[in-house]
Amino acid sequence: MSKTNTAIESTKVIETEETRAVSGGKSWKDYVTLAKMGIVTSNLITAFTGLFLASVYTGFPLVQNLHILILTIIGAGLVMAGGCTLNNYIDRDIDHLMERTKERPTVTGNIKPTNVLVAGLIQSAAGILMLAAVEMVAAIIAIIGLVVYVMIYTMWLKRVSTLNTVAGSISGAVPPLIGWAAVDPGLHIYAWLLFSIMFIWQPPHFLALAMKRSHEYKAAGIPMLPVVAGFAMTKRQIVLYVATLLPISLLLYEFGLVYTIAAAALGLGWLLLGFAGFKMKDDIKWARLMFVYSLNYLTILFVLMVIVHM
């Protein structure tokens, strides 16, 4: 290739990058990336579970009221997506320091920060309005979850304290409450038990992730427990949370024998894997196993709750 052709190609690349920077990004896929659809999808499973169980225990004819289901799921999904998008906007100053976040559109410059902010606010507002159209209590719960996630977790505790995991767990535990409130704003004790399961499940899940990525969190200056207190303390905390989660999940024994046996087996399996971590020499491998197990635990448990009530 001649020097002239090389110069032309280089000019085209520069022009393309400048055009993308000026336009703020045109790909809808970038906005999907910002919304963290993996997180949204997993949380929508728990939101649907809450809504479905509420319809079962209140005798609400869900099939005849599919608009309630549709508005609730889309509304909750938009609020979650909005929160994640705003999280990207706020964390753009540290995301470039972490391997798993350095390719986010807010870091690469594919989307202008103002566009990200507007997108997050629009998503959140649209989701809240949809939930309000269904049930105001559901909308209020969503607002609480959003405020905790964006303001208390992302803007504050994530950067200053290991308690960030606990704060994040509050917002991550509200989806089943949103779903239940859409049908039953009185929030039966079962709804609060679903919330409790989600709340206790998240610390061991995210602490395992923090162990896997401890060097990245350290580089970004984020005070996750493995960074501040070390792996030994983190492992003890993880096992303590898993041990607490097991009896809480069994408080839903009225869901039937199949659920109870499965919840006991899943919880015991996770606890045994947790104890195995005290003997394993490879802490990162153990953290990876715990992280994967936690994902399977949550999915299986909440899907099973729906199945046993069909």
What's the pLDDT score for residue 55?
Answer: 94
Question: What is the C-alpha separation between 149 and 156, in angstroms, rounded?
Answer: 10
Rounded Cα–Cα distance for residues 303 and 151 (Å): 31
- Which residues, at least 6 apart from 221, have a Cβ–Cβ distance to it below 8 Å? 94, 97, 159
Neighbouring C-alpha atoms within 13 Å toward the C-beta of 269: 13
Q: Residue 13, Cα to own-chain centre: how many angstroms?
A: 36
- Measured CA to CA in angstroms, residue 112 lies from 23, 46, 83 at distances of 8, 33, 17
Q: If you average pLDDT over each of 19-28, 211-220, 297-306, which comes out highest?
A: 297-306
Residue 33 neighbours by CB under 8 Å, 6+ apart: 104, 105
Q: How confident is the model at residue 26 (pLDDT cuts 50, 70, 90)?
A: low
CA angle at 82 for the pair 80 and 88, rounded to the nearest 5° = 105
8 A C-beta contact, residue 23 and residue 103: no
What integer best gives the mean pLDDT of the chain?
Answer: 88
**Ramachandran angles phi, psi of 26, nearest 5°:** -115, -10
- Among 20-24, 80-84, 106-110, 259-263, the range scoring the smallest mean pLDDT is 20-24
Report d(CA 202, CA 195) in Å as an integer. 11
Tokens representing 135 are 């049930």
**CA–centroid distance for 202 within its chain:** 9
- Tell me the fold of 25-187: Tetracycline Repressor; domain 2 (1.10.357)
How far, in whole angstroms, is CA 260 from its chain's centroid? 26
Asked whether the predicted pLDDT for residue 19 surpasses 70, the reply is no
Q: What is the pLDDT of residues 113-165, one digit of tens each?
A: 888 899 999 999 999 999 999 999 999 999 999 999 999 999 899 888 888 88
Token match 């041990």: residue?
243
18: pLDDT strictly greater than 90: no
- Cα angle value 17/121/201 (rounded, 5°): 100
Residue boundaries of the structural domains of the chain: 25-187, 189-310
Find, among 164, 251, 246, 171, the residue nearest to 209 by Cα.
Answer: 164
**Can you give the pTM of this predicted structure?**
0.86
Is 150 within 8 Å of 179 (Cβ atoms)? no
